[in-house]
Amino acid sequence: MDRIEIKLAYGMQSQVAKILNVNNRTLRDALRYQTRSPRSEWIRMTVVLSHKGYITGCDESEKIKHYRRLGISEDQLYALGIIDYRSFQDRVNNEIEK
């Protein structure tokens, strides 16, 4: 299985590093899940919410778990277009049935 990491649009990494006031290496390590510090978690959350980053390297249910660990709800994922309407609606229906 591939390594879990957060991807950005091509060429955006150095620009995002400048915006977040971190160097390229710190951003790269945070996006590759090589560090577990609170600062890295904040970088990951900010990249996903503000800079259209997305998690790769795992199946969809595992991605949802990683997004939850970052403090991102499924409503936000649907609003950002990361999960599609059908999977979002299935999850809502499952929660209603419980």
Helix residue ranges, H only, the chain: 13-19, 24-31, 38-50, 60-69, 74-80, 85-97
Judge if pTM exceeds 0.85. Answer: no
Residue 92 lies in a domain: no
The domain of 55 spans: 5-72
Residue 14 lies in a domain: yes
Residue 98 lies in a domain: no
Cβ(67)–Cβ(17) below 8 Å: no
How many structural domains are present in the chain? 1
Residue 15 lies in a domain: yes
Residue 41 lies in a domain: yes
* pLDDT tens per residue across span 48-97: 999 989 999 988 888 888 998 999 988 888 888 887 766 667 766 777 77
Residue 93 lies in a domain: no
